[in-house]
Structure 1
Amino acid sequence: MPATHTQSVPSTSTMAAPAVLSLEARLAAVEAAMTVALDEAAVAYEVRTAHIPTAPVVLADVVTLPLTPTLQPSSPYASPVVALLHRAQQRLLTDGWCAGSQVREDGARCLYGAIRVEAAGDRSLEARGLEVLMDAIRSQFSDADSVPVFNDSWTNGRVPMQMLGQAAALANSRGQ
């Protein structure tokens, strides 16, 4: 009788259970698969678009606006004093804040200088804006004598610019 080769099939009781992967291992496997897929897509894109001629881009042809903003953002307030204080705060944010003078050579301004330039010669509006600003300043700093003295007592513009925002909120609540 010829020898027959029989192969034994393992029983289900002797088969090993599939390994359970941790969340980190599964995420790593998905990341590896996505990296391979993205690399293949990048190569396919390069192959499909290699024949398309490209010309150098001249930046002046693409950018049609000035690179530095020239317009101040419009004020969200209809009230003249609130709008003035908001514009003055925006002026300090864009042009810079300074102490010791109304305006520096580089365009930075103090609180008074920002309000004055934004009032555009309207002395009544300027006075009302300074009055509300002084009320806002005195609500937190009772020893402040004037807007220029308060402005010059700081080494950076963070607090003075915050006071302009608080003054705008105060004028808005007063309906000015």
Structure 2
Amino acid sequence: MPAALHPDHAPRQAPPTDTTRVASGAGDLSLEARLAAVDAAMSVRLDEAAVAFEVRTAHIPAEPVDLADVVTVPLTPTLPQPAPQTYSTPVAALLQRAHRRMEADGWCAGTLVDEDGAVCLLGAIRAEAAGDRGLEADAAAVLLDAIRRRFGDVDSVPSFNDAHGSGRTPLRMLGDAASLADARGL
């Protein structure tokens, strides 16, 4: 017997419910009466579904779950930090110390050091130069050269520093300038 004609493969019809009996066998009822009967049957089905939902969700605690109890990993991944490179040349070492100072103290714009202790590019260099104006000038010159290599024609280190909304790029430029000074033997 072909599969389409086999009785097990015949499409099944849903058993008649109260709503189908009411809708099909109520030819003498008015539209309002049929709608009221369907509404009553649907209310019964919704009540049964509500009870089933309550039974299925009874094991769920009523109080909200505190995410601090669930999340046990750090929100920001902590990657191993590479060992800090130390430069043997004075200008490169100064720029590296300025980089570390800006990382530790924070970055600011518009002033060498703000009221919270955050530093700008020149503020970090000046603080680490410890009064050696010649070393400070050499470090600022290398920093300006590194900035111009990457960003083109920049007027000065302070204008570059103040043109940014965060310290990410100025901090990166201190690291690049330290590498450049080391390559030059400064």
TM-score range, shorter chain: 0.5 to 0.7
CA distance in 1, matches of 2:170, 2:103: 11
TM-score, normalised to structure 1, is 0.57
Matched AA of 1:88: A
Q: Is the contact made by 1:119 and 1:125 (CA closer than 8 Å) also made in structure 2?
A: yes
What residue number does 2:103 align with?
93
Indicate which of 119, 134, 150 corresponds to 2:129. 119
Partner of 1:173: 183
Matches within 5 A, 1:104-115: 104-115=114-125
Any idea what SS the aligned residue of 2:118 has? coil
**Matched AA of 1:129:** A
Structure 2 CA distance for aligned equivalents of residues 75 and 102 of structure 1: 26
Moved over 3 A (4+): none
| SS, match of residue 140 in structure 1 | helix
CA offset digits 1:61-106 (Å, max 9, x no partner): xxxxxxxxxxxx9871111000000000000000000011110111
1:35-76 CA distance string (max 9 Å, x none): xxxxxxxxxxxxxxxxxxxxxxxxxxxxxxxxxxxxxx9871
Greater Rg, structure 1 or structure 2?
A: 2
SS at match of 1:154: coil
Amino acid of the residue matched to residue 131 of structure 1?
Answer: A
Whichever residue aligns with residue 96 of structure 1, its letter is G
TM-score, scaled to structure 2? 0.54
| Structure 2 unaligned blocks of 5 or more | 1-82
Whole-angstrom CA distance in 2 between matches of 1:77 and 1:139? 21
The residue number in structure 2 matching 1:149 is: 159
SS at 2:159 equivalent:
helix
Provide the C-alpha distance between the structure 2 equivalents of 1:165 and 1:74, rounded to a whole number of angstroms.
11
**Offset at residue 116 of structure 1 (A):** 0.6
Q: Give the Cα–Cα distance (whole angstroms) in 1 for the partners of residues 130 and 84 of structure 2.
A: 15
Alpha-carbon distance in structure 1 between the residues aligned to 2:84 and 2:101? 12
Cα distance in 2 for residues equivalent to 1:162 and 1:169:
11
1:81 to 46, 69, 91: 91
The one-character-per-residue Cα deviations of 1:128-148 (angstroms, maximum 9, x if unpaired) are 000000000000111210000
1-structure distance, mates of 2:184, 2:146: 12
Q: Which residue of 1 aligns with 2:79?
A: none
Alignment of 1:120-135 (within 5 A): 120-135=130-145
